Amino acid sequence: MLSLATLSPQIRQYMVVTGNYWAFTLTDGALRMLVVLHFHSLGYTPLQIASLFLFYEIFGVITNLVGGYLGARLGLNRTMNIGLALQVIALLMLTVPTAWLTVVWVMAAQAMSGIAKDLNKMSAKSAIKLLVPNEQQGTLYKWVAILTGSKNALKGVGFFLGGALLALLAFRGAVLVMAIALAMVWLASLFLLKQDLGKAKAKPKFKELLSKSRAINVLSAARLFLFGARDVWFVIALPVYLSTVFGWDHWMVGGFLALWVIGYGVVQAFAPMITGKSSSAPGRGAAFGWTAVLALLPAIIAFGLGLGFSPQPVLIGGLLLFGAVFAVNSSLHSYLIVSYAKEDGVSLDVGFYYMSNAMGRLIGTLLSGWVFQAYGLEACLWVSAAFVALAAAISLALPSHQEVETASPE
């Protein structure tokens, strides 16, 4: 306790924000696996299970846009705590008797969870901007990478946690335990987060929801295609393919996806070491270069499958490599949005950007079901390659850090 007291206020707040984000992420990953496994055991098809998460993605688009506005007006401490409280409510909604767990009810709970997740994420990413001096861009990159990478690694751990809790406590008991644990985190956060964190000096108007910054708009467009490229094969096509073509049971499929997400998170956390010295600030060149490399990978996998090579090593090895390079791209983008965002009302810019992120996930999810059902996994991979190529082309329009600073009115 004494050592904690000697830490700077910025470090202590970073620890609170990160701790909240970690706790939320564990429940988010575990809840997804609980819903998938439980409804699979009830006889739902993979496509029917995927539809349960449709509102989760749709409300993510809305929440990021409105949540950035709320964060600037109310403060990031309030939006983060609201996100934690909404996740507790979403979990409690699923503790009702099994007969009440209709598709509509579960979709409503997932909608609540989607709102909670994006309020929490927007608040956490925005808060980092306020805790690192503007001239320390290398430190900012490192802190964002650690926060983002650890979150994704813990989401993968959450997949395992969901399966374990389901086996030990059954669906209702597992969800109730997570609700109680997260409620305790929420109560602690009410007292530990600064009351004015992220509140804009001038109250933003609702019409300011859409970003007026060229840098934010370009990066948001690139992010949309980047995450659409991942989810067009990851959300529905890959799990169904692993189950039907490789004959994997749901434990093997869930375990592989969990390990993929954990590895993805670990690479994200070490992205500053992979892309260069942590004291340097990556920009347009790094964003374009890493995205261009990524665009080749789904095309190579699709080409290998089309030539009739053994699908398991081609697909599994290729997607592991895709995950590593994608993680670096995601970490670079996460740093750039925090770097480009204006300090006063930072959540407006970050919220707009993550709205594009959520829109990309939604488009990818919808295309994953349709393209896979109509044309197969290879087609999903070719769409992925096209989307990443578009993201790379858009990245060429990103301004340098010097151009952003010159254009800023502050």
Using CA atoms, how far apart are residues 219 and 334, in angstroms rounded to an integer?
Answer: 10
Please determine, for residue 222, whether its predicted confidence score (pLDDT) is greater than 60.
Answer: yes
**Sign of the alpha-carbon dihedral angle for 59, 65, 70, 71:** positive
**Residue 298 pLDDT grade (very low, low, confident, very high; cuts 50, 70, 90):** very high
Please determine, for residue 214, whether its predicted confidence score (pLDDT) is greater than 60.
Answer: yes
Using CA atoms, how far apart are residues 252 and 65, in angstroms rounded to an integer?
Answer: 37
In this predicted model, what pLDDT tens digit does every residue of 96-137 receive, in sequence order?
988 888 888 998 999 999 899 888 888 887 777 777 777 677
Superfamily of domain 8-199+208-407: MFS general substrate transporter like domains (1.20.1250.20)
Do the Cβ atoms of 357 and 64 come closer than 8 Å?
yes
Do the Cβ atoms of 239 and 373 come closer than 8 Å?
no
The predicted model scores a pTM of 0.80
Using CA atoms, how far apart are residues 118 and 120, in angstroms rounded to an integer?
Answer: 5
Please determine, for residue 277, whether its predicted confidence score (pLDDT) is greater than 80.
Answer: no
Do the Cβ atoms of 236 and 46 come closer than 8 Å?
yes
Question: What's the mean pLDDT in 375-404?
Answer: 90
**Residue 90 pLDDT grade (very low, low, confident, very high; cuts 50, 70, 90):** very high
**Residue 200 pLDDT grade (very low, low, confident, very high; cuts 50, 70, 90):** low
Question: Any residues with CB less than 8 A from the CB of 105 and at least 6 apart, and which?
Answer: 93, 96
**Residue 46 pLDDT grade (very low, low, confident, very high; cuts 50, 70, 90):** low
Percent of the chain with pLDDT over 90: 35
**Residue 228 pLDDT grade (very low, low, confident, very high; cuts 50, 70, 90):** very high
| Lowest-pLDDT choice from 114-128, 192-206, 292-306, 348-362 | 192-206
Give the total residue count for the chain: 410
Domain ranges of the chain: 8-199+208-407
